[in-house]
Amino acid sequence: MTTTCDAPCGATRDALLNQKGGVAKSTTTLHLGGALAAAGRRTLLVDLDPQANLSQFLGLPQHDHDNGPTLPQAMLHHPDDRDYALSLVRKHSENLYAIPASFDMFTLPRDLHASRSNEDRLTWVLEHLDDLFDHVLVDCRPGLDIDTDNVLHWAHSVLVPVELDTSSIEALKLLIAQIQTLAQDTRRTPPTYRGLVINRIPKGDPTLLDRQVRQAFHDLPIPVVGEVRMRDSLVRAKEKGMTIQQYDPNGDAATMYHSMAVQAGFLEATP
């Protein structure tokens, strides 16, 4: 069984990660994935959050751990089984695929703690799918535990959604420290930072604090690859199980996510 590629191979592997809740990790995964799919890239979105918000945003039912395959079952009991991994994948729309969440993700950290080689399990499962997709994005739950360590071992890069508040800066420092500590403890190369995405920027003129926090993010050595304003169309799109590119392809929100895909280095800029 191989564990990792030394250099990026097959699909790009990105974790949408921030232990702070409600900073638009799932929203970014959905619409960034939508932008990639709309550009013709075969894209897989993985919902690793037992809250299952991304699965709901996509209009996909959760996997039922009593009757069918689930990602935790694959990680814990079938990591060598490519067909099992393939059976987890659902098609959402052209070029856009997903592995939905399942209830057994609630107990995944506890179950992983009781397993051997427990930080490589996600890699073993998802690497079966590497050659089928151009991009794989994993939407993480808020929190830092062994399931997140699995994501960090699998990922080549990390995209960090943040919000315009001072607690987001503190949360980001904690995340950076966690990634560094994990790399030191395991003597592995940590994933690179693809960038920060500043989300839910309020409508209207920014306050002084908004401007200061925004500047603080721009002053960090991690590039800001997207700035997304509050948009009702994003809420309506998820209520219909659609990406913003499908719901309102000509609106400015779709443009924001396409630009993010370019800034983050997934897509070439169109002349």
Q: How far apart are CA 134 and CA 115, in angstroms?
A: 31
In single-letter form, the type of residue at position 39 comes to: A
Picked from Mg ion, ligand ATP, none, the partner binding residue 21 (CB below 5 to 8 A depending on kind) is ligand ATP
Residues that bind Mg ion (CB under 5 A): 25-26, 53
Q: Residue 123 or 199: which CB sits closer to ligand ATP?
A: 199
- To the nearest whole angstrom, how small is the minimum distance from the Cβ of residue 256 to ligand ATP? 8
For helices 166-186 and 146-154, what crossing angle results, to 10°? 70
Task: Give the pairing of strands 224-229 and 192-201.
Answer: parallel
Using alpha carbons, select from 223, 265, 264, 259 the residue that is nearest to residue 244: 259
Give whichever of 44 and 160 is closer to ligand ATP, judged by the CB atom.
Answer: 160
What residue ranges bind ligand ATP (CB under 6 A)?
A: 21-27, 49, 51, 53, 142, 199-200, 228, 230-231, 234-235, 238
Give CA–CA dist 254/86, Å, rounded: 30
**Nearest approach, Cβ of residue 57 and Mg ion (Å):** 9
CB of 152 to ligand ATP, least distance (A): 17
28's torsion region: left (phi>0), alpha (psi -120 to 50) or beta? alpha
Identify the H or E element spanning 97.
strand 96-99
Is the Cβ of residue 68 or residue 143 nearer to ligand ATP in the bound state? Answer: 143
Nearer to ligand ATP among residue 35 and residue 85 (C-beta) = 35
Measured from the CB of residue 188, what is the shortest distance to ligand ATP in angstroms?
26
Q: Which is nearer to Mg ion, 43 or 53 (CB)?
A: 53
Q: Are 70 and 63 in contact (CB under 8 A)?
A: yes
172 interface partner picked from ligand ATP, Mg ion, none, CB below 5 to 8 A per type = none
Amino acid sitting at position 72:
P
Find the shortest distance in angstroms from Cβ 195 to ligand ATP. Answer: 16
Residue closer to Mg ion (CB basis): 39 or 159: 159
CB 21 → ligand ATP: shortest distance, Å? 4
Which long-range contacts link 265-268 to residues 24+ away (Cβ below 8 Å)?
A: 265/194, 265/225, 266/12, 266/32, 266/36, 266/41, 266/135, 267/35, 267/36, 267/39, 267/41
